[in-house]
């Protein structure tokens, strides 16, 4: 008895539709434009989607991360918030195998591999290794095996310092569209004002939000009431987020379940923890985000084929005796020929429009840098007694995250405004910009986005002798006042001596805190300058693309477009003069080409509707 050969896996229908679009594009000489679409989509698929976990201190955030990873102890937990920097839990890969971790620094080498067993020394806020480091890392990554949300990165933002929009925006910006913001509250009380403020500030920039209400194991009698109250508060304060999933969970039970060897007990613990329910709520938007590259590819392929389809259908109409577009084409040809004659003339002042955008972007960059610097200086100046070493590490890392987030948002704004300028300039000729120009704009922006150009000094300062002396004098004075009344009867010299020793030490400690704050203020000033310079570099780079490269490409495209309009008019005129037999022959050649393009477009459009519908159905479950 012979065994049947294994059945071949059916090709993905979206892939089939995309290949049909490619074949149609190639048959009309559009293979280069289609290859650019395929290349862009391939690059976008290289980034795993992300779940960015944020929450106030002591909400059980890191415990929840461990439960989602089904990996107890992966994220450090304790009675107080222990995470000093953001940790990215990334799917294992050939480049990042299990058992390895990576630290990211501001200076070269930017990324440094370490064994996974050493990671806690760098992410725990109470770690002597971290506190003694000359340059603390900015963030870390750990390779993990699949948990409840496989093929997905989970970003655990720092617990120290509470909710920080900077960490969330940096993580969301790095993963772009494929991200979910997981906001962690607990069942001990209603959602707090800081959490609501955080949600409100992020709402405009985040597509998908899920709220996890933790510690239902500790508040079994009240969590349902708290959940209902939270939903009402969010609906009233933030109507756009009224329907976001709010999932009650126990990270502690989930973490215990991951350690349970007995399968039946493990399953019961996971069910009681409701971690699988949370994972389902997270998977829905992640699946929607995963469809985005395919949807973009199909939509752009459809748009690419519209021009040849319109040209063929117009010629077909002319062969049939109906010519609806001829007058329009004559106007297009005349307009483009006129533009060719007046391209360098003041009637089409390309450079003036570029200069106008340059002024707008430069002013926006200046305003952003001022606001960034003012925000951080105010934040540090509020700490009148200075800052300690732990606070310095937390604030330095938050500053770096805020710098990256602001830079990313501003760079995206520069790209969008430059793209709009290209569309405006091309619109005068009734054309769309060449896709390669947008790729060059993106490349120039990425070149400018590397911060800092010169590494910002992050080392802890030594104590200025004058500061130490001032601290000693302050200690003598405070010591005399506090101890004089008690010790004067025993010895008139005891008070000042003890004041120097005891309170002088306190003064030195206060001086050290002030010195750390002064150092961080200088870092803020340096970061503000670097932000402004990077943005100005980006503006110069992208506007150079527009004013030189794009101008040359536009001139070439305009000539080709005018020639194409003239050629199409000649084809229409030829079709109108053709004999009956010639018309039939040409129609017989044109109809299959029209049918092939229409089929490719229809199949692709059907896949777009299917994927959109699948995403909506998943989100509704």
Residue range 62-94, pLDDT digits in tens: 889 999 998 888 877 765 556 677 889 999 988
Residue 335 burial by Cβ neighbours in a 10 Å radius (0-12, 13-18, 19+): middle
Domain ranges of the chain: 50-291, 465-515
Q: Which helix (H) or strand (E) covers residue 140, if one does? A: strand 139-144
- Buried b / exposed e over 514-549, threshold 16 CB at 10 Å, is bbbbbbbeebbebbbbbbbbbbbbbbebbbebbbeb
The least confident of 258-272, 313-327, 551-565 is 313-327
The DSSP secondary-structure symbol of 155 reads: E
The C-alpha angle with vertex 500 and arms to 498 and 502, in degrees rounded to 5, equals 60
Per the CB < 8 A criterion, the answer to whether 214 and 59 are in contact is yes
pLDDT tens readout for residues 518-577: 888 888 898 899 888 888 888 888 888 888 877 777 777 777 766 766 676 677 667 667
Confidence tier at 264 by pLDDT (50, 70, 90): very high
Three-state SS for 247? strand
Instruction: Tell me what pLDDT residue 582 has.
Output: 78
pLDDT of residue 483 exceeding 50, the answer is no
Q: Is the peptide bond before 392 cis (omega within 30 degrees of 0)?
A: no
Fold of 50-291: Rossmann fold (3.40.50)
Q: Is the peptide bond before 483 cis (omega within 30 degrees of 0)?
A: no
Question: With 90 as the cut, is the pLDDT of residue 618 above it?
Answer: no
**Mean pLDDT over the full length of the chain:** 77
Minimal CA–CA distance to 433: which of 419, 444, 447, 451? 419
Range 267-276 average pLDDT: 92
pLDDT (average), residues 580-588: 79
> Greater confidence, 345 or 360?
360
Helix axes 263-273, 251-259, angle to 10 degrees: 170
Range 303-307 average pLDDT: 84
Chain mean position to CA 493 = 64
Q: Given phi > 0 = left and psi -120 to 50 = alpha, else beta, which region is 113? A: beta
Q: Is the pLDDT of residue 167 over 50?
A: yes
Confidence of residue 599 (pLDDT cuts 50, 70, 90): very high
DSSP-derived 3-state class of residue 198: helix
pLDDT at 421: 83
pLDDT value, residue 223: 93
- H or E segment to which residue 602 belongs: helix 580-620
pLDDT at position 605 over 70: yes
Q: In this model, does residue 36 exceed pLDDT 80?
A: no
Do you know the residue count of the chain?
A: 621
Residue with tokens 């998977």: 283
| Residue 319 region by backbone torsions, left for phi larger than 0, else alpha for psi between -120 and 50, else beta | alpha
């Amino acid at each position: 008895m012979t065994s049947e050969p294994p059945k071949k896996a059916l090709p993905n229908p979206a892939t089939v539709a995309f290949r049909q679009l490619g074949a149609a594009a190639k048959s009309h000489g559009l293979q280069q434009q289609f290859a650019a679409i395929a290349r862009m989509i391939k690059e976008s698929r290289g980034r795993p989607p992300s779940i960015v976990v944020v929450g106030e201190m002591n909400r059980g955030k890191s415990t929840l991360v461990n439960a989602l990873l089904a990996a107890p102890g992966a994220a450090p937990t304790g009675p107080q918030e222990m995470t000093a920097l953001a940790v990215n839990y990334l799917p294992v890969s050939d480049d990042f195998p299990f058992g390895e971790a990576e630290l990211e620094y501001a200076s070269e080498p930017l990324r440094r591999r370490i064994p996974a067993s050493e990671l806690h020394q760098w992410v725990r806020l109470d770690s002597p290794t971290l506190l003694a480091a000359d340059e603390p890392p900015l963030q870390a990554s750990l390779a993990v095996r699949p948990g409840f949300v496989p093929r997905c990165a989970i970003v655990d933002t720092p617990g120290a310092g509470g909710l920080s929009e900077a960490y969330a925006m940096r993580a969301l910006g790095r993963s772009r569209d494929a991200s979910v913001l997981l906001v962690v509250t607990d069942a001990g009380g209603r959602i707090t004002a800081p959490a609501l403020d955080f949600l409100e500030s992020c709402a405009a920039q985040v597509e998908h939000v899920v709220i996890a209400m933790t510690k239902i194991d500790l508040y079994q009698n009240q969590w349902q009431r708290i959940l209902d109250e939270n939903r009402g508060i969010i609906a009233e304060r933030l109507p756009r987020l009224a329907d976001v999933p709010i999932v009650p969970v126990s990270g502690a039970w989930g973490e215990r379940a991951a350690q349970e060897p007995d399968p039946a007990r493990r399953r019961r613990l996971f069910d009681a923890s409701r971690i699988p329910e949370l994972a389902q709520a997270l998977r829905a938007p992640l699946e929607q985000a995963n469809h985005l590259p395919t949807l973009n590819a199909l939509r752009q392929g459809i748009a690419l084929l519209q021009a040849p389809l319109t040209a063929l259908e117009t010629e077909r109409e002319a062969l049939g005796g109906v010519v609806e577009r001829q007058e329009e084409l004559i106007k297009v040809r005349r307009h483009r020929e006129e533009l060719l004659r007046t391209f360098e003339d003041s009637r089409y002042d390309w450079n003036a429009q570029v200069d106008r955008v340059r002024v707008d972007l430069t002013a926006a960059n200046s305003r952003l840098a001022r606001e960034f610097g003012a925000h951080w200086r105010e934040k540090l100046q509020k700490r009148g007694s200075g800052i300690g070493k732990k606070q310095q590490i937390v604030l330095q890392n938050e500053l770096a995250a805020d710098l990256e987030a602001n830079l990313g948002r501003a760079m995206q704004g520069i790209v969008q405004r430059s793209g709009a300028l290209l569309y405006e300039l091309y619109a005068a000729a009734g054309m769309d910009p060449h896709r390669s120009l947008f790729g060059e704009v993106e490349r120039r922006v990425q070149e400018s986005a590397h911060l800092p150009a010169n590494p910002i000094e992050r080392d802890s300062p030594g104590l200025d002798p004058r500061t130490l002396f001032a601290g000693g004098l302050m200690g003598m004075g405070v010591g005399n006042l506090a101890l004089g009344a008690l010790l004067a009867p025993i010895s008139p010299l005891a008070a000042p001596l003890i004041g120097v020793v005891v309170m002088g030490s306190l003064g030195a400690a206060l001086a050290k805190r002030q010195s750390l704050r002064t150092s961080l203020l200088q870092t803020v000033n340096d970061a503000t300058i670097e932000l402004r310079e990077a943005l100005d570099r980006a503006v110069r780079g992208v506007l150079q693309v527009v004013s030189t490269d794009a101008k040359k490409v536009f001139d070439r495209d305009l000539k080709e477009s005018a020639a194409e309009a003239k050629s199409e008019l000649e084809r229409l005129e030829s079709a109108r003069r053709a004999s009956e037999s010639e018309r039939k022959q040409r129609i017989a050649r044109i109809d299959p080409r029209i049918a092939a393009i229409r089929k490719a477009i229809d199949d692709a459009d059907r896949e777009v509707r299917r994927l959109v519908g699948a995403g909506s159905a998943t989100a509704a479950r």
